[in-house]
Structure 1
Amino acid sequence: MLLPEVHVREPITISAAAKLLGITVDTIRYYEKEGIAPAPARSSDGWRRYDTSALSWLAGTVMLRGTGMNVQEMREYAAAYRAGADDTERLALLEEHHAVVLQRQTELQRHLAALERKIDAYRQTIAARGASGKARSAA
């Protein structure tokens, strides 16, 4: 995965990786268990160590999840990658998801506009009530 980019000079622990990516250790373990993220190398003491490559894959996974890609779709993408799917096949998976994200974005914008109208209506009601209350107080 290309974005977002994450670089480390030396491999880091799972807790450092989680902190760097803004996710929990349990989330990283889950992605690995589900085959979404490849298992990282382990140090001589058996602890997971995340290099730039492993972190980049996880960062991409976090980005995909943030766009609403579900776990099954992330599994399919990872499986296609591991199976050696060519760039065209992986591009098709991402473009399909992109279309879904754009549809959701359009729907979200529609709901946001309705929410803003509702907020404006409440503000106008409160302001009108406040203005009529001030007029009564002066009388």
Structure 2
Amino acid sequence: MTETANARTYTPAEAATESGFSIDTLRYYEREGLLAPISRTAGGRRAYTEADLGWLGLVRCLRDTGMPIADLKRYAELSLDASTMNQRLALLQAHDQRVQEQVDLLVSQQERLREKIRWYLGNGATPAEQERAARS
């Protein structure tokens, strides 16, 4: 960590740790325009800001919920223009709908799995298996 004009900055290693992305991924995201160009120290090293880490947190959320890179690039492009708020909202709402569909499917599949577990417990699973199932 360094302090620049009273603003905390992070080294690439610290930014990687904080964001959960590898240093290579951070560089890739910068090259692809998913991350604004990162400021540099006098020695030429990248210096990530709190704002950069905040953006990376959103990128992490969107990637973890399955947003394709193409949509993420589009969102990043739109984020550069304050007049695109409605387009950004629409993109996020469409993604939210896809995430909800995935959640609904997983809940449905989990219920089917639990039905099968109940069947085994009711049809002769050993006491050890029953105990294991009760803990999970």
* TM-score interval (norm. to shorter): 0.7 to 0.9
Task: Give the match for residue 20 of structure 2.
Answer: 22
Distance 1:118 1:27 in 2: 41
Unaligned runs of 5+ in 2: 1-6, 128-136
Unaligned runs of 5+ in 1: 1-8, 131-139
TM-score of the superposed pair, with normalisation by structure 2: 0.79
* Identical residues among aligned pairs (%): 32
Distance 1:101 1:109 in 2: 12
What CA deviation, in whole Å up to 9, does each residue of 1:78-108 have, x standing for no partner?
1112245421111111111111111111111
Deviation of 1:39 (Å): 1.9
Q: What count of residue pairs does the alignment treat as equivalent?
A: 122
What CA deviation, in whole Å up to 9, does each residue of 1:3-32 have, x standing for no partner?
xxxxxx511111101111222112212211
Distance 1:65 1:10 in 2: 26
TM-score of the superposed pair, with normalisation by structure 1: 0.78
Deviation of 1:122 (Å): 3.5
Work out which of the residue numbers 89, 108, 112 in structure 1 matches 2:106: 108
Deviation of 1:51 (Å): 0.6
Secondary structure of 2:10's counterpart equals coil
Task: Give the match for residue 36 of structure 1.
Answer: 34
Work out which of the residue numbers 43, 51, 54 in structure 2 matches 1:53: 51
Instruction: Say what the alpha-carbon RMSD is for the aligned residues.
Output: 2.0
